[in-house]
Amino acid sequence: MLSHHSLQFLRNLEQNNNREWFHANRKDYDQTKEEFEGFCQEILTGIAQFQENLLNTTVKSCILRINRDIRFSADKSPYKKYLAAGFGPGGKSSGKVDFYLHIQPNGESFLGGGMWAATSAQLASFRQEIDYSPHILKGIIEDDIFKHYFNEIHGEKVKKMPKGYAIDHPEIELLKYKQLFFVHKYSDDELLTKNFAAEVINGCQILKPYLDYINNLFYGEEN
């Protein structure tokens, strides 16, 4: 279970994003990290009940480092202002499309997943599948339960119709997507409830058919 302590640590970190402050408050970070690991273990255990390829995954392999890679960034803040985990076979570096959990104060926490950094070949496969069998994807993402829970779509679209497809194609909007990432946001109050882990696990179960669709399309296997 997450606590006020963890959210307050993240708020304080956002206001004091420097190494001196971080090291002076290392004990608070260690407590926050331990709490987040315990919470993510609950999530991982729950997901593994309906996704067997996570059974041998360790929770530490799922959690993203709090240190930012600032080598090529204009923003030199050394730390992320959020906690995050990617739940996939073997952890966050599975190479597949996985469940992503993001914990950030002030209503910026969310569960999400989907097509994000597709290669040209993967994007071509996605568009071909939409052209040939749009009903499969639409049957997943237009389901009432899915639409109600994942009511935010993040992702860029091309401005013009992709090459090789008619401008009056019936699935023109889906074909334009370069990224198709679905998100469900959580309030700070929701984060602090006793059943929040169960809520996230339920969200993962709703998201699973879409991730299975993308993983099968891109990698020839379900996630």
The model's pLDDT over 78-104, given as tens digits with 9 standing for 90+, comes to 999 999 999 999 999 999 999 999 999
Q: What does the alpha-carbon distance between residue 119 and residue 142 come to, in Å, rounded to a whole number?
A: 25
Q: Which amino acid is at 72?
A: F
In a 3-state reduction of DSSP, which class is residue 160?
Answer: coil
Q: Are 36 and 7 in contact (CB under 8 A)?
A: no
Rounded to whole angstroms, how far apart are CA atoms 143 and 60? 34
Q: How far apart are CA 90 and CA 88, in angstroms?
A: 6
**pLDDT beyond 90 at 42:** yes
Average pLDDT, the chain: 96
- Around Cβ 129, how many Cβ atoms within 10 Å? 17
> Are 154 and 163 contacting, i.e. CB atoms less than 8 angstroms apart?
no
Residue 77 has pLDDT above 70, yes or no: yes
Distances (CA, A) of 174 to 29, 180, 220: 42, 9, 21
Determine the average pLDDT of the residues in 111-121.
96
Query: By percentage, how much of the chain surpasses pLDDT 70?
Result: 99
**Residue 126 confidence (pLDDT):** 98
- The whole-number average pLDDT for the span 103-132 is 97
Residue 223 has pLDDT above 90, yes or no: no
Per-residue pLDDT at 138 exceeds 80: yes
Q: Tell me the residue type at 94.
A: S
| Contact criterion met (CB below 8 Å) for 73 and 54 | no
Which two structure tokens, joined as six digits, stand for 109?
């926490």
CB atoms within 10 A of CB 74: 5
Cα(195)–Cα(180) distance, rounded to whole angstroms?
29
- Whether the pLDDT of residue 150 is over 80: the answer is yes
Q: Is a pLDDT exceeding 80 seen at residue 213?
A: yes
What is the structure's pLDDT at 1?
Answer: 87
Q: So what's the pLDDT on residue 66?
A: 98
Instruction: Express each pLDDT in 154-182 by its tens digit.
Output: 999 999 999 999 999 999 999 999 999 99
Is the overall model pTM greater than 0.85, yes or no?
Answer: yes
Tokens of 54: 């996570």
Q: 120-132 and 196-219 are packed helices; what angle lies between their axes, rounded to 10 degrees?
A: 90
Instruction: Tell me what the mean pLDDT of segment 182-209 comes to.
Output: 98
For range 116-133, the mean pLDDT:
96
